[in-house]
Every structure is written in C-alpha cells, then in structure tokens.
Amino acid sequence: MGRAITEYFVAEGASVAIIDLDGEAGERAATELGSQGSVLAVQGDTAQLDDVDRAVGAAVEAFGRLDILVNNAGIF
C-alpha cells in the first residue's frame, strides 16, 4: 500500500519522503520513482519518536516544508 500511495502522490506532483524500517524498500522506491518526481527515503522505525523526528527533519530540509502525513505503518 505504501508504494501505491507514493506513486499516486508523485504522479500528482508531490515531493514524497518515505520512512522505511529496513531502508531497502524505501531506497528502491526512491530510486525507481525519483525520475518522476522528488522522492526521499529515510531509514527508520515509525514506533520510535527519534526516528520519526529525524525523518520529518530530513523531509523539511529536502523540501522546505511538510504538508501531508500519511501513516501507513504495518507489519506482516
């Protein structure tokens, strides 16, 4: 679901920051979708406040602001 959400926002012209637990899926999506728009991948755990703060800071630094937050955290 996170990939589809990212694809939608990128297609609509949004800059997107992805926080990914292991980092690999986020990096892969950023690489694949980066040619269509601005996509930033940040490795982190959304259950950890320090990781969330770091990811938000990276998004603001990269894009200048944060307009929308989508919480799509889940486990298998």
pTM: 0.83
Q: 31-73: per-residue pLDDT in tens? A: 888 777 799 999 999 899 999 999 999 999 999 999 998 988 7
Residue ranges per structural domain of the chain:
2-63
Q: What's the 3-state SS for the chain? A: CHHHHHHHHHHCCCCEEEEECCCHHHHHHHHHHCCCCCEEEEECCCCCHHHHHHHHHHHHHHHCCCCCCCCCCCCC
